[in-house]
Chain A
Amino acid sequence: MNRLSPFNVVSLTLGFAFLYLPMVILVIYSFNESKLVTVWAGFSTKWYGELVRNEAFLDAALVTLQVALLTSTLATILGTCAAYVLIRMHRFPGRTLFSGMIYAPLVMPDVILGLSLLLLFIGLNVDRGVLTIVLAHTTFAMCYVSVVVSSRLVAFDRSLEEAALDLGATPFQTFRLVTLPIIAPAVISGWLLAFTLSLDDLVIASFTAGPSSTTLPMKIFSAVRLGVSPEINALSTIMIAIVTVGVITASLVSKRAAVRRLREEKAAERA
């Protein structure tokens, strides 16, 4: 099985070229001197300069960052609670409805989620702004967090929790000292997932944002509707760079942690 046929090599090469070439092209053209997309007029970083001077983009970036930080923190807390309830509590009234409400937002079209939340905010006469975007984002992001965390909770050795309880720990102490450290990697990746989901969302934010709270994707969308611009290419390059560095760092850190755990386990066995 472990031999790649020429067909496999070709399909992998073409596949990854398809996935990565468009972004590579985007990055290359962000350094283009010319405003035209097809003409290469030499290397230049002037579009990055323009970008830094563009205050509308900077303001939008700040709003987006604020929303994403609040969303991911709230969604991680709520999503972890939800996962714990879903996996550990088998009988309570309305459990089916609860699990339905966790899974439905994962496949629900953004336009429906956005529309329904906007109608709620208008019905309650809430002023729309950063807060309403955070509420909306948290609602769908917590469902993603709970899916990630519950997959870790399922694969969890429950006798550890039982031992802690037997030895006199309160349920809360057990959660804090035993459960939480074990599910921590999933909680962290849930936080990261919620953060990127919030950072990325256009549709739900457009529905729930107020006039003074434009997010970066909304700003990019309205600029991009008029056509390709080198400034947006520069902005995209910065965002791609941040994500790439973030994902690679996270995976290296988790790999190191796994190696360390393995070594400690071996040492414990020898002792």
Chain B
Amino acid sequence: MRRLILIAIPYVWLLALFLIPFFIVVKISLSDVALARPPYMPQLDWSAGWEGIRNFFAALDFENFGFLTTDDLYWKAYLSSLQIAGISTLLTLIVGFPIAYGMARAPEHWRPTLMMLVILPFWTSFLIRVYAWMGILSQNGLLNGVLMSLGVIGEPLTILNTDVAVYIGIVYTYLPFMILPIYAALEKLDSSLLEAAEDLGCSRLTAFWLITVPLSKQGVIAGCFLVFIPAVGEFVIPSLLGGSETLMIGKVLYEEFFSNRDWPVASAVAVVLLLILVIPIVLFQRNEQKQREAEG
């Protein structure tokens, strides 16, 4: 009996506040927008009994999903979100790998401190970390000021409110998610393998390429997914650092809901976004499982 209660409490909570809300989104994505409160129809009419339920289901259709394909704002936003997330993931890997590599090669008594230095920014407010870049990248910001006083550039560069600023923002805020799994993989690497390779005549670079890279693959894959998946649906970074041309689906969804108040279309946007993310999420879970099996 106790056992049942213990299972039921978190189970019911997640069913009620995670799974059921998601089915409501699906339902509303099949509804039509209406000038009412709440602003969509049909409404399920319980008092009309069986007839009411039938009428309700008859009024649902895929019209909103059709609308998403006709207005090119949406598919362009999906594509550009995937592209921005993909490029940022690659950049994060390029920045993060050497840091993780350096950490793994640092003397052992330094490592806990280095770990904490990587984790500390993660505890600091995400919003503040994005905001910090606004002052640096703006037209009369610090970066332009420094570059101009050094004489590198004659006129201030426009970085804030472009895609470049979005890339910088994503790399900066998601960097710990890339570093930690790669570091975890590299730290386990047996250094005698590298020594053996060098003894056998491998150059350092070849040894790195043939031993370090394959053995850290799992960490790299985990890091890439941890950056890519949330970056696709990112809202704060494109709205603060991106420009009016920066199209990202998280921002489109937010505006569809709060500015246009078109709840059915916003719900349809959410459903499609989730369908797109299911593939990388499943791949990520499988990679994690493989890693667990390799360890266990």
Most chain A beta carbons < 10 A, residue from B21, B140, B240, B266: B21
Within 8 A of A (CB), among B125-152: 125-129, 131-136, 138, 140-142, 145
Most chain B beta carbons < 10 A, residue from A1, A136, A248: A1
In the complex the two chains form, what is the Cα distance from A16 to B113 in whole Å? 12
Q: Flag if A110 contacts B129 (CB, 8 Å).
A: no
Secondary structure dominating the interface of B: helix
Stretch at the interface among B46-54, B64-72, B213-221, B227-235: B227-235
- When distances are taken between beta carbons in the complex, the residues of chain A under 8 Å from B145 are 38
Find A82's partner among B10, B38, B125 (CB 8 Å cutoff).
Answer: B10
Q: Flag if B101 contacts A11 (CB, 8 Å).
A: yes
Interface mask (B14-50 → A, CB under 8 Å = 1, otherwise 0): 1101111110110010000000001000000000000
Within 8 A of B (CB), among A1-38: 1-5, 7-9, 11-12, 15-16, 18-20, 22-23, 25-26, 29, 36-38
Interface mask (A238-260 → B, CB under 8 Å = 1, otherwise 0): 01100110111001000000000
Within 8 A of A (CB), among B257-272: 257, 263, 266-267, 270
In the complex the two chains form, what is the Cα distance from A228 to B142 in whole Å? 12
Secondary structure dominating the interface of A: helix
Find A89's partner among B3, B101, B140 (CB 8 Å cutoff).
Answer: B3
Q: Is B121 positioned at the interface, with any CB of A under 8 Å from its CB?
A: yes
User: Interface size on A (CB < 8 Å)?
Assistant: 84
In the complex the two chains form, what is the Cα distance from A8 to B101 in whole Å? 7
CB distance from B174 to the nearest CB of A (A): 12
Q: Is B57 positioned at the interface, with any CB of A under 8 Å from its CB?
A: no
Q: Flag if B281 contacts A104 (CB, 8 Å).
A: yes
Find A236's partner among B118, B132, B141, B267 (CB 8 Å cutoff).
Answer: B132
Find B123's partner among A7, A109, A243 (CB 8 Å cutoff).
Answer: A243
CB distance from A19 to the nearest CB of B (A): 6
CB distance from A242 to the nearest CB of B (A): 10
- When distances are taken between beta carbons in the complex, the residues of chain B under 8 Å from A247 are 116, 119-120, 123
With A19-B117, A22-B172, A243-B123 known to touch, is A119 a contact of B263 (CB < 8 Å)? yes
Stretch at the interface among A45-53, A54-62, A94-102: A94-102
Q: Which of chain A's residues has its CB closest to B17's CB?
A: A139
Residues of A in contact with B (beta carbons under 8 Å apart): 1-5, 7-9, 11-12, 15-16, 18-20, 22-23, 25-26, 29, 36-38, 78-79, 81-82, 84-85, 89, 92, 94, 97-98, 101-105, 107-112, 115-117, 119-120, 122-123, 135-136, 138-139, 142, 146, 171-172, 196, 199-200, 202-203, 207, 217, 220-221, 224-225, 227-228, 232-233, 236, 239-240, 243-244, 246-248, 251
A-B contact pairs, 25 of them (CB 8 A): A4-B106, A7-B98, A19-B172, A23-B121, A38-B141, A78-B10, A82-B10, A98-B14, A103-B285, A112-B25, A112-B273, A115-B253, A117-B21, A122-B38, A142-B13, A172-B2, A200-B127, A202-B127, A202-B236, A203-B254, A220-B127, A224-B127, A224-B134, A228-B131, A228-B135
Extra 4 A-B pairs, beta carbons < 8 Å, given A3-B105, A8-B102: A18-B172, A38-B140, A199-B125, A243-B120
